[in-house]
Structure 1
């Protein structure tokens, strides 16, 4: 089988691989791992059920041969996975991989940022859902204030990593933080991106009435700090970009609820327990871990990956927009990352 890129049922290329390396997290954010369900005694995966670094790298090589150029490491909280920089270093050596990023809550970055950068990590996406302590403590479910995250941001910048901040916006939770976040980070060396509240997983109580739309977010910012829309940096970029008219900084909005981007989605996701998902909102995955551990050779492995993508017909956000409903059982965010 040659190394030509593969397309799915709708002609979408396979470009991005998102790898969840662990299902555990040190936060219990209400929209992802609410503490009422994911408490102290929740049965997270034993280490033997997680893919080894060797297995992850082997899969990444086959995906690179099929056209993947970008890898994002996710969790849970990926920095809880021991010696993560060693995995980054191996992924960085794979021919065809041009970009390696990490999604994190940043609390552990002060100790790890330099090692990760030296290993080949280029970017971090840091989750921060409010700049005021009391709001943020309520959201993360662990009473953690903003300072540990801000220190993580500083450590990432000092290490030479590019930084984007992701703020999930939910009505009744943190809409009060839209403007304070914009004000605080406007002249900082980061890009702030707001994310519409999505129906990922089965326990976050999603309802359309709790969604604050991209247009509402931008209108709120524009009234105080005027912005204008700008072109995406690359084809398939998920965030709509807006720059401040005074020339200092920009913000983005990821609007998979009110303005879905299924038609340009190029992402496949590898869960912490070794399953492949062709959509963030998928109900079931393809058990690639069993294939690896049963001794499947690289040629067969690549064939299976290409066939999985070739049969892909996912367009969940489009379907949700058409029906106005979210009634599918989905994989938990802690297994699949973002």
Structure 2
């Protein structure tokens, strides 16, 4: 699909749950948030039906997100069903890694095409402070097991925060890409929900830190996934170092994605609160053609850009006040 700003929309991030087994400080408070009742969350059949519409409209890549997608009991079957949809070329997943080791083999058999694992620190105490749980060992074990499947790309997602990271801790995270074929990505904290109160590092600051130890850092020009990540090569490293800096290095002009929340709301821009209730239409008996028209109309209204760094919205929609676990990470 091509939107009115001539962007090809070929990627959808589908949140399968708003629930999570961690409480990362930039995502939700330690006491948690009010979760959706199960009846309000899309069923597996509803997700597949909507994904079939996406496939017929030109969406080629699906990322399953949450919350934490691996807390959903039917996640393996869902992956397998999505892989069978005509037009869908890749189904990937992002996870915090706590349950990954025990479900990894089943995910591989279901056909998962790539896995992103969130890991913000290699320090056990800081991990507990960041996430609310003592789970670093479980995540490290999941990463080790996942790397045994060499045909499935593994990426590490880190949100660098000044309160929790210094030069040495950032270099230690980057070094994970040295001896293994995984890519380490530094993701700019989003000024949404609890992330509004967090001070992060800029992309340039991290590049400067990396260059203080690895002077031959060079930009990598080939694609390494579905989205807008910018990657660098370091001599002697098997993996790449990536950056996703949506605020300071706005990439809206090349945005190729939309999001479907666990409640079935199609959001065409992360920052705006508006959306199209696809699940409600499906439950009211709308036909596949009617659902496809809703998707096309929503994408036709996709805004030109976010306004994180601007004084006011580019148009009349209100700004999002929900956290990332509720929107879909």
Partner of 2:98: 107
Equivalent residue, structure 1, for 2:3? 8
Q: Say whether 1:211 aligns with 2:200.
A: yes
Choose which of 210, 213, 221 in structure 2 pairs with 1:221: 210
Q: Is structure 2 residue 18 aligned with structure 1 residue 23?
A: yes
Deviating more after overlay: 273-282 vs 292-301: 273-282
Change (3 A) 1:261 1:235: farther
**Counterpart in 1 of 2:221?**
231
Question: How far apart, CA to CA, are the structure 1 residues paired with 2:220 and 2:289?
Answer: 43
Q: Which moved more, 1:147-156 or 1:174-183?
A: 174-183
SS of equivalent to 1:137: helix
Instruction: Please give the alpha-carbon distance, in whole angstroms, between the structure 2 residues aligned to 1:71 and 1:15.
Output: 9
8 Å CA contact 2:98, 2:135 repeated in 1:
no
Q: Does 1:311 align with 2:301?
A: yes
2:172 alignment counterpart: 180
Post-superposition offset of 1:234: 6.7
Q: TM-score, normalised by structure 2?
A: 0.92
Q: So what's the TM-score if we normalise by structure 1?
A: 0.90
For residues 245-302 of structure 1, the C-alpha deviation after alignment (integer angstroms, 9 at most, x for no partner) is 3454320111112111111111111101111100122212211111000000011111
Unaligned residue ranges in structure 2 (runs of 5+): none
Supply the distance in 2 between the matched residues of 1:257 and 1:9 (Cα, whole angstroms). 22
Whether contact under 8 Å (1:135, 1:174) holds in the other structure is: no
How far does residue 337 in structure 1 lie from its aligned partner after superposition? 2.2
Given the superposition, is the C-alpha separation of residues 48 and 264 from structure 1 closer, same or farther in structure 2, using an over 3 Å criterion?
same
Q: Deviations over 1:44-77 (max 9, x none)?
A: 1121111111110110011111110000000000
Is 1:125 equivalent to 2:120 in the alignment?
A: no
Equivalent residues of 1:198, 1:206 under 8 A apart: no
Distance (whole Å) between structure 1 residues aligned to residue 177 and residue 127 of structure 2: 16
Superposed CA RMSD: 2.0
Aligned pairs, number: 322
